[in-house]
Structure 1
Amino acid sequence: MFSVKDVLPGTLKALGLAKRYNAQSVLVHWREIAGDEIASHAWPVSIQRGILLLAVNNPVWSHHLLMLKPGIIDKINTFLNEKLIIDIRFQAGDLRKYQNFGEDGDSVVILQPAKLDSDELATLWRETESIKDDKLRKKCYYILIKQKGLNKTKQKNGWQSCKRCSVLVPPGQSYCTICSIEHKQEKISSITRLLTEAPWLTYQEISQFVPCSPREFHTTKKLLVHKLIRGLFDRAADKLTEATLVMLMTGIKPNKITQEIVDHVISKVKTRLAEKVRRKKYVSASGR
């Protein structure tokens, strides 16, 4: 005879519930896993595709937890006895949005599962009919009820499916956290590619091809400029790279740019950077 503890992991995996069960375990047992100090500054929001999203209550702790990230991932996976978490992302947030504390200090999840009707309960019970062990079947059944109830509560509160996947997201939000990160990265990649091929393009022109905000455009452009400037010193930059950088910085179109303009702008950039490096060395030497 096998105990429920021995059989449960395999059964949950067979039912496709293992990751949901383990993800819920991280949320419920977060204080036990992370410790009181970390739990007082950071709280789990969600786990999707192996990425844990943590709400952190101040920037200092965001930086501190970034340094501790490998150890936290190892702690979680050791607790679950499974490599569930592969990365952690951080967001600024009020921890009270994701937890409440009672007088005894225990955390209480804000979203409570809705009650299911008899037809819904019967459907979930049928989904577990392949499990022969009664105790194990009931445990899996209760997991399904809780998951179904939580989704029902979210839907009643206006949550809708992410535009890319089936994860429910709060009202006013189009993507789940992971899809939002992927969508933003794809947008940045598209803007970068267009600016690399046509560095003179303006925001109005770029936004016709890639819907984006002015901030997204200018931030991406700034990152590309910095990358190309670093290239001037990391390697012997070719003329095309220099011309691309100048068109990015000035907006001059290819039919208007000359080698004289390129040389003048590149010379000014190198001079400013050299002065900046000298000032930094002087400050460092003075502080000794």
Structure 2
Amino acid sequence: MARRRKKNNEFINVGEVIPRAIKHLAKFPEYKLYLIKHYWTDIVGKEIAAHTEPKNFSFGILDIGTANSVWANNLLYMKYDIIDKINNELKYKVIKDIRFSYGKMGSNKVLPVRMQEQKDIKRILANIKLNAVVQKQISDDVAIIKDEELSDKIKNIMLINKKMNELKKSKNWHECKSCGALCPSTEIYCSICERSVRHERQSQIRQLLMTKPWARYGEIKNYVPNCTKEMVNDARSSLVQKLAADLNFDNCDSIQIKMLVMLYKALPPEQINEKVVYENINRLKYDLKYDEMKKLNKKKGG
């Protein structure tokens, strides 16, 4: 009697395997970034694709590098249009937000996203008319350039910048309190001056924490106006890592270790004892190792 062949339940049709594999791959940011890069020209068009490059994707945020700050500024107005086009092209909602950067296709400076208009920049700028005086001034400025092609390109850039300024003014942008450059009505400083002011605030916070390591945000904000909880947390974390790097964790009785625990947990001197120091030093060791792992994963692109 012939043996009945065992039915192979493990055999799956190729047509079933591929969709499953794709569904599995779709969970990974690297695969989503690959798809975006693959369809990039179809999504944004040849002109924009020639001056931009998708650089990174994580947690629903796409980083796009641009050739220069002009392109980065212009594309801000198209942000939501690009988001919709990407999500429509890939058939599901992948992108939640976009960040633009510039300098060697986005390798240097990140441009803050502030203007939230879901419109085509070309159509917007085409409807903005510059007066004859401004146009003549621009023509006079580029007249000294002998290369006609270069002269036309620079003239075009200057016209776009002028139109961009007119558009910003129509959106109630005002002069930066520090340098006079245009910035959104919701901001006091332009992005460059804001970074400078932020660095100054962070420096003040660090100095205060070095003097009084247990100080919390509620107290610090009285000495550093307009600081945020994020600034205080960042300054505290930075100081903790810096101080911990030079300490011997085996000596829990040292003044430096106690100061480190005060800074780490924002605890006043009267709450510091041997048990508190021992428990928190062990927690700190774990946190520091966790931070190192995050840094390593980031370097690997994880």
> So what's the TM-score if we normalise by structure 2?
0.51
* In structure 1, C-alpha distance between the alignment counterparts of 2:152 and 2:287, rounded to whole Å: 68
8 Å contact from structure 2 (residues 261, 281) kept in 1? no
- Give the counterpart letter for 1:192 in structure 2: R
From the superposition, tell whether residues 233 and 93 of structure 1 become closer, same or farther in structure 2 (CA, over 3 Å). farther
8 Å contact from structure 2 (residues 175, 182) kept in 1? yes
- Pairing 1:267-286 to 2, within 5 Å after superposition: 267-272=278-283
Q: Which residue of 1 aligns with 2:258?
A: 243
* In structure 1, C-alpha distance between the alignment counterparts of 2:201 and 2:118, rounded to whole Å: 29
The CA deviation at 1:124 is 2.3
Q: Which residue of 1 aligns with 2:22?
A: none
Q: Which residue of 2 aligns with 1:217?
A: 232
Q: Which residue of 1 aligns with 2:90?
A: none
- Pairing 1:26-45 to 2, within 5 Å after superposition: 29-34=47-52, 41-43=62-64
- Give the counterpart letter for 1:128 in structure 2: V
The CA deviation at 1:147 is 2.0
Q: Which residue of 1 aligns with 2:110?
A: 89
From the superposition, tell whether residues 89 and 147 of structure 1 become closer, same or farther in structure 2 (CA, over 3 Å). closer
8 Å contact from structure 2 (residues 214, 267) kept in 1? yes
Higher RCO (Cα < 8 Å, 6 or more apart): 1
From the superposition, tell whether residues 123 and 264 of structure 1 become closer, same or farther in structure 2 (CA, over 3 Å). same
From the superposition, tell whether residues 35 and 224 of structure 1 become closer, same or farther in structure 2 (CA, over 3 Å). closer
Any idea what SS the aligned residue of 2:125 has?
Answer: coil
Give the % identical residues. 24
> So what's the TM-score if we normalise by structure 1?
0.53
- Give the counterpart letter for 2:139 in structure 1: W
Q: Which residue of 1 aligns with 2:125?
A: 112
Identify unmatched segments of 5+ residues in structure 1.
1-27, 77-84, 101-107, 278-288
Residue 162 of structure 2 is aligned with which of 148, 153, 157? 148
Q: How many residues align?
A: 220
The CA deviation at 1:244 is 1.8
Residue 207 of structure 1 is aligned with which of 221, 224, 230? 221
8 Å contact from structure 1 (residues 191, 220) kept in 2? yes
- Pairing 1:55-204 to 2, within 5 Å after superposition: 76=105, 87-89=108-110, 97=117, 100=120, 108-109=121-122, 111-112=124-125, 114-132=128-146, 137-204=151-218
Q: CA RMSD in A?
A: 5.0
The CA deviation at 1:172 is 0.9
8 Å contact from structure 2 (residues 54, 64) kept in 1? no
- Give the counterpart letter for 2:278 in structure 1: S
